[in-house]
Structure 1
Amino acid sequence: MPIVELKIVEGREAKVKKKLVKDITDVIAENLSVPHDKIRILLYEIPAENWIVGGIPKSSTPEN
């Protein structure tokens, strides 16, 4: 049973996350020949202030 841990910055719409995990599930099923119902995805949404790049929180960058 494949288990995928995926960490993203929080704030994306539910429909975007739903498509993301469906696409990931499809790719794993196809590449590993595993039934979809045996694949687990753990999606962690990290607050932008806790996502640090080069010592600067993502919440402090212009794109946020």
Structure 2
Amino acid sequence: MPFAQIYLIEGRTEEQRAAVIEKVTAALVEAVGAPKENVRVWITEVPKENWGIAGVSAKALGR
């Protein structure tokens, strides 16, 4: 059973998260031949102040 864990900076819409789930599922079905019903996708949204880029938080960078 393929399991994909995706980390995103918070702020994506429900539609965007649904698109990630759909496309990651399709990619795993194609790449490893797993049945779609067996694919699991887990999205974790991380607060901007908890995401660091080059030593600075994403929030401080205005992302």
TM-score bin, normalised by smaller chain:
over 0.9
CA root-mean-square deviation:
0.9
Any unmatched runs of 5+ in structure 2? none
Letter in 1 for 2:27: V
Length-normalised TM-score, structure 2? 0.93
Q: CA deviation at 1:54?
A: 1.4
Question: Comparing both structures, which one devotes a greater share of its residues to helix?
Answer: 1
Write out per-residue CA displacement over residues 5-41 of structure 1, whole angstroms, 9 at most, x where no aligned residue.
1101010100011011100100100111111110111
Q: Distance in 2 between matches of 1:4 and 1:24?
A: 8
5 Å-filtered alignment, 1:35-54, equals 35-54=35-54
Q: Distance in 2 between matches of 1:21 and 1:57?
A: 26
Q: Distance in 1 between matches of 2:11 and 2:61?
A: 15
Fraction of identical pairs, as percent: 24
Length-normalised TM-score, structure 1? 0.91
Any unmatched runs of 5+ in structure 1? none
Letter in 1 for 2:20: L
Secondary structure, aligned partner of 1:59: coil
Letter in 2 for 1:54: A
4+ residue runs of structure 1 moved beyond 3 angstroms?
A: none
Q: CA deviation at 1:60?
A: 0.7
